[in-house]
A = this chain, B = another copy of it.
Amino acid sequence: MDKVVEVIDVSMNYHTLEGETEAIRKLNFDIMNGEFVSIVGPSGCGKSTLLSLISGILTPTSGKVLINGKKVEGPSASVGYMLQKDHLFEWRNIMKNITIGLEIQGKLNKENQEFVEQLLKEYGLYEFRNHYPRQLSGGMRQRVALIRTLATKPNILLLDEPFSALDYQTKIAISEEVWLILKKEKKTAILVTHDLAEAISMSDRIIVLTKRPAEIKSMHQINLSCDCKTPITCREAPEFRIYFNKIWKELDVHV
């Protein structure tokens, strides 16, 4: 396996008039090709910042991020970013929502159009392509957001709490589905989440961050013994609860 993402000595300080906020301090880790990595950590510890650094929207104060061995210097087509809310544009229909990334990158050609239609068909949204976002359920909207991210054919996906706005039952169902899609498309994925059970059930590896400034507290390779490895079945594995309790204690939540 190759390293697709290398985070090397990355630090990030936010500067505002109120003062300097050290969000991330000398972080180092690699992500392998095809790996599904979750990042968990206390609220406000710098998880979203980390994803922004990897995506190239932000530039680290020091250190660097390499993608496929090349230094990140701005958003690139090889990285897709999925945010907490779906952020579908109400004034565009589903098709036009999905192709917005292609539009911006000037790649809205016939071939990509067909690819998008392919995706829509595959994930059961083809009939809805002329609908408007408000006509879709929360779960469907989130799937549209995923397809929008996939449309530009990134091979690395950054997912920033993509399911937290959904209600509990939808969340479990859609995370299962997204996981299957990503595995099928053979994407490398980095998932930020607050939901430990979600992290454990979906990931190959979990990175636990300390509270701000974010440093790596621990890393956990997840090996669950269950028949067919999909998130819902994973939750039934006997090791599940052990991982859960261990990481829960590391997170050290106080109310």
Q: A residues engaging B (CB < 8 A)?
A: 43, 137, 139-140, 143, 164, 167-170, 172-174, 177, 193-197, 235-236, 241, 248, 251, 253-255
Contact = CB atoms under 8 A, between A and B. Distances in A.
A168 B140 contact: no
A196 B168 contact: yes
Contact of A255 (B168, B170, B194, B253): B170
Nearest to A138: B255
A251 B196 contact: no
A143 to B, nearest CB: 8
Contacts of A194: 167-169
Q: How many copies of this kind of chain does the complex include?
A: 2
Given A235-B241, A241-B235, A241-B236, A255 B167 contact: no
Top 9 closest pairs, chain A to chain B, by CB: A139-B255, A168-B194, A169-B253, A168-B195, A173-B255, A167-B194, A174-B255, A173-B253, A236-B241
A139 to B, nearest CB: 3
Nearest to A244: B235
A241 B241 CA distance: 11
A255 B142 CA distance: 10
8 contacts: A137-B255, A164-B167, A164-B168, A169-B196, A169-B251, A170-B253, A197-B197, A235-B241
Nearest to A252: B169
A165 to B, nearest CB: 12
Contacts of A139: 255
Nearest to A137: B255
Contacts of A241: 235-236
Given A137-B255, A169-B248, A170-B255, 16 more contacts: A43-B167, A139-B255, A140-B255, A167-B194, A168-B193, A168-B194, A168-B195, A169-B194, A169-B196, A169-B253, A170-B253, A173-B253, A173-B255, A174-B255, A235-B241, A236-B241
